[in-house]
Amino acid sequence: MTTQRRTPPSKDKLDAIRAIVGPKGVFEGNDAAPFLSEWRGRWPGEAALIVAPASTEEVAKIVKYCSDNDIAVTPQGGNTGLVGGQIPFGDEILLSLKRMRKIRAIEPLNNTMTVDAGVTLAEAQEAAKEAGRLFPLSIGSEGTCQIGGVISTNAGGVNVLRYGNTRDLVLGLEAVTPSGEIWHGLKRLRKDNTGYDLKQLLIGGEGTLGIVTGAVLKLFPLPAEKVTICAGLESADDAVKLLSLAQQRTGGMTSSFELMARLCIDLVLKHIPQTRDPLREQHPWYVLAEFSSGQKSGLRDTVEAMLGEALEQGLIVDAAIAENESHAHDFWRIRHSISEAINGEGLGARHDVSVATSDIPAFLEKADAAVLKIAPGARFVAFGHIGDGNVHYDIVGPEGSAPDVLEPVRPQIESAVYDIIDTFSGSISAEHGVGRHRRDTLAKRKNAVELDMMRAIKKALDPKGIMNPGKML
């Protein structure tokens, strides 16, 4: 699928946009680079102009001008996206939200927080904590990614099992529509049945339907007790059963439940300094799980009893409960280092897929077999948020092979994996989104009724097609 190029905007028009934000809001020359290169260097970009407005009103003025003059706009948050959705092709102006970073309000008694789109996720977490509350969303890029981007990509992360995706954590939005109007939708309500839930279109909309400028986020009580465990298992099937047991025995207290194939541990130990095997013996599979409770005591006993039951039922072979924060941190360090460890091993082939949780073992079995037919000796670094059915299904070449050994067959591998995902009615992009990267794949694989609905909505809300063209659909 190709994207229609527009006539590049004239110098006069760009000057008119510059005038809206003033010199502080324009980024040129050396200052432009950080906006135009995606962090893994996959999608080098170009923009007609890079501006960072200081207020919602400035965003609206810019978009109104662009709408009137048929200029395309690519909104950008922290530029941490993994699918190139935030990188313009050349004729667009890039609109960064980085100068809009006020925490507008925190209301502990309503368990809500109202923030500008440019506030980083870490800043939002910190502000909530200072008010004695938890904002549970947590992803690797939290120090840099911004709330507006997090919302536009419906970010997931390690706490989805208990607290939901970003979609579940947003009560209200302020946004600028493709015609440059401000939508004042900053509701702080938990129930509102007065028409279509419009914010759901912008959440995960990848900036194709408007620009998020502010949001009301849900907060939660801070947990009083936390227990982190690492367990060794024989199979992914046992992991699915362990999850079910854990959820039944702890009620809603299972916050994270991460699966790792042994090869994940091996690669982390090989490539990441100061890491160590989490359990005494080696096991084919590992589960890293976290439980948290508002009650001050009793959680550890409950988790211990649950692990005892799991041992008896043969679901786990061994398990360790973190003795303190630093021990828990060691467990999490392994999990968080997997991506970097894979980079150390080679280019690999990566997939961010999801299936029904109970289908994970069958998916892994079928996908492994299909990949081995294409790339004999390939090794599987499967890991992920198993409680959400989300597997980061990554593949590296045979032991000792060249780092780029899989490159020639990568498209074939991807296609085979996605074919299997389709047979499970799974998702080819569980949390990373579509952006540039999966746009063609989506057009090919998404069901026709859905594609038609998406296109009809896009045309209805952005008839001139100026919002982030060439992304998603």
Residues 158-177 that bind its own copies (CB under 8 A): 160, 162, 164-165, 167-168, 177
Choose one: 49-57, 123-131, 258-266, 385-393; the region binding its own copies (CB under 8 A): 385-393
Residue 190 CB, nearest approach to its own copies (Å): 4
The torsion angles phi and psi of 176, rounded to 5 degrees, stand at -105, 125
220 binds its own copies (CB under 8 A): yes
Nearer to its own copies, 125 or 244 (CB): 244
Residue 225 CB, nearest approach to its own copies (Å): 9
Site string for its own copies, 12-41 (x = CB under 8 A): ------------------------------
140 binds its own copies (CB under 8 A): no
Please count the residues of this chain forming the interface with its own copies, following the rule CB under 8 A: 99
Strand partners, 383: 260, 392
Contacting residue, 335, 350, 379, 432, with its own copies by CB under 8 A: 432
Within 13 Å, how many C-alpha atoms sit on residue 252's CB side? 7
| Contact by Cβ (8 Å): 377, 395 | no
308 binds its own copies (CB under 8 A): no
Contacting residue, 49, 59, 150, 240, with its own copies by CB under 8 A: 240
Size of the chain, expressed as the number of residues it contains: 473
Neighbours of 401 (CB within 10 A): 16
Choose one: 20-28, 216-224, 313-321, 342-350; the region binding its own copies (CB under 8 A): 216-224
Residue 209 and residue 152: Cα distance in Å, rounded? 10
461 binds its own copies (CB under 8 A): yes
Which stretch of DSSP H or E encloses residue 324? none
User: What are the CA-CA distances from residue 217 to residues 170, 188, 223, 265, 413 (Å)?
Assistant: 5, 8, 18, 35, 39
312 binds its own copies (CB under 8 A): no
- The residue among 133, 193, 205, 130 whose CA lies nearest residue 166 is 205
Contacting residue, 14, 32, 131, 198, with its own copies by CB under 8 A: 198
Contacting residue, 390, 406, 417, 467, with its own copies by CB under 8 A: 390
Residue 226 CB, nearest approach to its own copies (Å): 11
Residue 301 CB, nearest approach to its own copies (Å): 9
Whole-angstrom Cα Rg for the chain: 23
Neighbours of 146 (CB within 10 A): 29
Contacting residue, 341, 357, 392, 420, with its own copies by CB under 8 A: 357
| Residues in Cβ contact with 365 at an 8 Å cutoff, skipping those fewer than 6 apart | none
Which segments within 8-127 are labelled E, that is strand? Answer: 49-51, 73-76, 93-96, 103-107, 112-116
In terms of DSSP H, where are the helices of 22-136? 33-36, 56-68, 121-130
385 binds its own copies (CB under 8 A): yes
74 binds its own copies (CB under 8 A): no
Choose one: 22-30, 31-39, 250-258, 343-351; the region binding its own copies (CB under 8 A): 250-258
412 binds its own copies (CB under 8 A): no
247 binds its own copies (CB under 8 A): yes
Supply the DSSP symbol for 119. Answer: S
Choose one: 73-81, 179-187, 272-280, 403-411; the region binding its own copies (CB under 8 A): 179-187
156 binds its own copies (CB under 8 A): yes
Residue 379 CB, nearest approach to its own copies (Å): 25
| Contact by Cβ (8 Å): 84, 435 | yes
Residue 351 and residue 337: Cα distance in Å, rounded? 17
Choose one: 25-33, 64-72, 199-207, 321-329; the region binding its own copies (CB under 8 A): 199-207
Residue 153 and residue 38: Cα distance in Å, rounded? 16
284 binds its own copies (CB under 8 A): no
389 binds its own copies (CB under 8 A): yes
Residue 200 CB, nearest approach to its own copies (Å): 4
313 binds its own copies (CB under 8 A): no
Which segments within 97-164 are labelled E, that is strand? Answer: 103-107, 112-116, 133-134
